[in-house]
Chain A
């Protein structure tokens, strides 16, 4: 149960096979199709939430159009990137925790 990406062979829209694209999310590999957003990749792989709110409630995609900021992730050490707005590129390192900040000396 949960979200899923429709396999190309079953898709009435007949999308081109753009080839696989793999990113790592908290160290684990997640594969989708070239041209997908980070959120699309995560949901397509069955993840429904990946962040927690201030009081620890789970958050994933809510608005899907960049308005709600529920889906924030860290991409290649850049925090607070909206996963639904950012297209994934091969080898992106995604973390669901913000990067640890170095305290100034």
Chain B
């Protein structure tokens, strides 16, 4: 949204492809128009910024907003802009309208998704990602449970607590995996650097007030290491963690809940960037120059794709990308804001980034790939027996990551479990078809002129 608005301000004509029914993405996910709330700002930080951007974009004569737009492929051409293939219509329908765009400039802002680490029982119904709890609270006014525990790492746990409380749930506690000393080192070293990212501090302060007001305990250096139940979760085991996130034996305690929300970190959704040929860094993020241009000329990127930094950084990067893509020069103040917010993102990783000790949480029977029902034990056994170091062959022999989600949920965990000597690391994020398309819909996109003649 920020990129579109900035590009419009600099005189560009803009097509905004939105996969959902509303603008606002995951961060400002909100009720359907028919249900819009008079007090919806109570669930959001920066709601007035969203409203301003929405009004600027929606009413603009040079902006075409396409809702229900699933980009399923990008064709790369060496000497011409990439072609963007889209299905427009109700999600996963059979009669969506195929469209192709050949923009002069392409800005990718596909965001991130949660990375959830496996633990015994994590595939039981009632275990949700924290993002699911957030989406259901903001977009549906549904609380995922009545007694809810929130666990994982990072400041994102806090807005989830606030949303759950405002949706009628009781939050029994928040378990932050990082210990007190690491949090202190990450957040309180060189505090003056944080001053210029003060909007973030204000946002977090608001969430902390909710914790205090509703007496929600915040446990550091602890996490959920097991969820219990037969067909749904009825309790979880919390354990203390060492600094490397291995569990402290004997520290376990059981808490009764009817839902648990987990969020261990975020990974970028890079399918389209990879398809467009954009270079990624060692952590799998899209690399960009000062103007947010990727390694591919005329292809820009902003937000979680370029590094996990949250909504404020995404807004700043989006504004830079939209400005430069439209031929403008970003304001120095904006560039300074981006720098301060990137510093915030670096601290985020230092204070909350995933530590390898999580690999001690699952037992051999713990589900790893939820689509194909491959356990952690099966993956380890087959890797040991075949002595294979090739990710591709292990995927085929174990079926981990071969299911309908295409390894989106388990890919990084599979790679971590297979260890540092793995060949083709990073491969689990390569998906030429970015979102599932039905064969019938694909066939309908082939016009007679485009079919290859029979030999």
Q: Is B324 an interface residue (CB 8 A)?
A: no
Tell me whether B90 and A87 are in contact (CB under 8 A): yes
Contact call B92/A81, Cβ cutoff below 8 A: yes
Q: CA of A10 to CA of B21 in the docked complex: distance in angstroms?
A: 26
A2 touches B32 (CB 8 A): no
> Chain B contact residues: over half helix, strand or loop, or mixed?
loop
Q: Which residues of A contact B35 (CB under 8 A)?
A: 15-16, 18, 33-36
Interface residues of A in 14-53 (CB under 8 A from B): 14-16, 18-19, 33-37, 39-40, 43-44, 48-49, 53
Q: Once bound together, how far apart are the Cα atoms of A82 and B90, in whole Å?
A: 11
Closest CB of chain B to A95's CB: distance in Å?
A: 14
Interface residues of A in 66-93 (CB under 8 A from B): 66-70, 72, 78, 80-82, 84-87
A15 near B128 with CB under 8 A, answer no
Q: Is the CB of A61 within 8 A of B91?
A: no
Interface check A105, CB cutoff 8 A: no
Do A67 and B142 touch across chains, with their CB atoms under 8 A apart? Answer: no
Whether the Cβ atoms of A63 and B113 lie closer than 8 Å is yes
- When C-beta atoms are compared, the residue in chain A nearest to B141 turns out to be A6
Question: Which chain B residue has the least Cβ–Cβ distance from A7?
Answer: B168
In chain B between 277 and 323, which residues have their CB closer than 8 angstroms to a CB of chain A?
none
Query: Would B126 and A48 count as touching, CB distance under 8 A?
Result: yes
Could you tell me how many residues of chain A have their Cβ less than 8 Å away from some Cβ of chain B? 52
Contact B408 A4 (CB under 8 A): no
* A61 partner residues in chain B, CB cutoff 8 A: 128, 132, 136, 144
Distance between A98 CB and nearest chain B CB, rounded to angstroms: 12
- With contact pairs A53-B373, A58-B231, A69-B371 given, residues A63 and B131 touching in the complex (Cβ less than 8 Å): yes
Point out residues on B near A: beta carbons under 8 Å.
19-21, 26, 31-40, 42-43, 90-94, 113-114, 123-129, 131-136, 139-147, 166-168, 231-232, 258-259, 269, 367, 370-373, 403-405, 408-409, 436
Name the A residues within 8 Å of B134 (CB-CB).
64
- Residue of B124, B141, B168, B436 touching A15 (CB-CB under 8 A): B141
| Interface SS of chain A | loop
Q: Given A12-B39, A63-B409, decide whether A3 and B91 contact each other with a Cβ distance below 8 A.
A: no
Q: How far is the CB of B119 from chain A (nearest CB, A)?
A: 14
Quick check: is A54 within 8 A (CB to CB) of the other chain?
yes
| A interface with B by C-beta (< 8 Å) | 1-6, 10-16, 18-19, 33-37, 39-40, 43-44, 48-49, 53-55, 57-70, 72, 78, 80-82, 84-87
**Residue in A2, A43, A87 whose CB lies within 8 Å of B232:** A2
Docked CA distance A12–B37 (Å): 9
Nearest Cβ distance between residue B133 and chain A, in whole angstroms?
A: 7
Q: How far is the CA of A42 from the CA of B166 in the complex (A)?
A: 20
Cα distance, A66 to B113, chains bound together (Å)? 10
Q: Which of B35, B36, B38, B42 has the most CB of A within 10 A?
A: B35
A79 to chain B, nearest CB (A): 9
Distance from B449 Cβ to chain A, minimum over Cβ atoms (Å): 29
